[in-house]
Amino acid sequence: MSAIFTTPPRPFDVAALFPQLAPLVRTGTRLHPRPGSPTVHDSSVGGPLLWPAGEPWPHCDEPHDRHASQTVHSPDDVRLLRRDLAAADERLRLDPEAPEVTPEERENWERIKVGRPWFDGPIPLLPVAQLYARDVAFPCPPDADLLQVLWCPFDHAERAHPTTTLVWRSAATVTDVLDAPPEPPVIQSQWYLPEPCLFSPEQVTEYPNPSELPEELRAQVEDTSRWASIDPALYSNYAYDPGELYLNNLCHAPGWKTGGWTCWGLSDPVDRPCPECGTDEVPLLTIASSEWDAGSGTWVAEEEPTNPAPPPLGARDGNFTLIDIAGGYNLQLHVCPASPDHPHIELVQ
C-alpha cells in the first residue's frame, strides 16, 4: 500500500436533509492510486501480476480498430517519453533558465514521433489492476481472494475503449510466478498504458446518482427551497444549484474505486442483467481518467500536497495512473453478485 489518503468530510449530511436517502446508502472503496513500485504481492495499478509460470498469458485475437493516420508506439517508447517529459518539467521548475529540451531528449522525441509499424497478430494483454481481498473489498467467487484485470490496448469495433479480461484466483495456489510476461509490440494510445501505482484504500459512503433516485425524491433534491436550512457557506463554493452539489460532491465519489454506486453521465441508467443468469450486475471496479475535476474539489484527499512541484509524470486532476478513457470518462466494470465469475459488463460513463 502507498501513503494514507483520506477524503474530507462531506460539506454536510445529505441523508439528514433527505431521510429517504438513508435506505439507499452503499459503501464504496476509493483506491487513491499513487505512483509507486508495486510487486506481485501488492494491490496495484499497472504493476506486475501474481501469474503462474505454467499458465498461458492471455492474448487478444479480435480485429483492432485501425485509423490510417494513427501512429502507434511501443510500451517502452511511451515510458521513455513520460520520464523525459517529467524530467523536463522538474528541470524548469528548479531553474526557469534551464534548457526546455536537452539534446538527448530531442533525439528521443524525434525517434518516438515516427512511431512503430502496425502489428496485425495476436496482442498480449496489458496488466491494468491487481486487487487482493485482504486490501480491498469487492465481490469475488468463494474460492478466490485475488482479482486481476487485463486489457487489450486497442479500440475494437463499436467499442472506443480497451476490452477487459477478469481473472479470479487464489493467491496461495501460485507458487511459481511468471517473471517476464509478454508485452504488446505496440499500443494504440499512450493513455492505455497504466503507470504503476500503489493503492490507499478508503471506504466512503455513497448515494445513487440523481438519475437513479425515485422520481419524487429526485424532485425534492432538485427543489432549491428544500435546501434553505443549509448554510450557503457550506456549499456555495462548490455548486451553482442543489442538483449540481448533490451530483458532484454528495452522492458518489469520483476516481478509482470498488463497489458503491454507478456513475451515469453519458447516458441514462440502463439495465445490466448478467449475460449468463440474468441477475442484475453490480459495480465491481471503476477505472477512472481522474480522481477529481473542477466540479468535485471536495473529494480531493486531505493529504494531497499543495506544493508547486509538477505532479508526477505530468498527471493532472489526480490522473496519477495516466489512463484516459474516451477523453476523460470512466470505464466501469460490473459483475454478477450471484456468481462474480460470470461474464462481466463494461460501461463507459
What's the pLDDT band for 70 if we cut at 50, 70, 90? confident
pLDDT in tens, 225-280: 888 888 777 776 666 777 888 998 899 999 999 999 999 988 899 999 999 999 99
319 in the same domain as 250? yes
Nearest alpha carbon to residue 122 among 204, 64, 181, 53:
64
97 in the same domain as 244? no
pLDDT in tens, 285-304: 999 999 988 778 889 999 88
| pLDDT, average across residues 154-180 | 93
Instruction: Check residue 309 and give its pLDDT.
Output: 56
82 in the same domain as 94? yes
Domain containing 248: what range?
14-74+116-348
190 in the same domain as 57? yes
Report pTM: 0.93
98 in the same domain as 29? no
Number of domains in the chain: 2
241 in the same domain as 121? yes
Q: Is residue 9 part of a domain?
A: no
Residue 307 has pLDDT above 60, yes or no: no
State the virtual CA torsion across 84, 89, 93, 94 in degrees, nearest 10.
Answer: 0
What's the pLDDT band for 323 if we cut at 50, 70, 90? very high
| pLDDT, average across residues 175-204 | 96
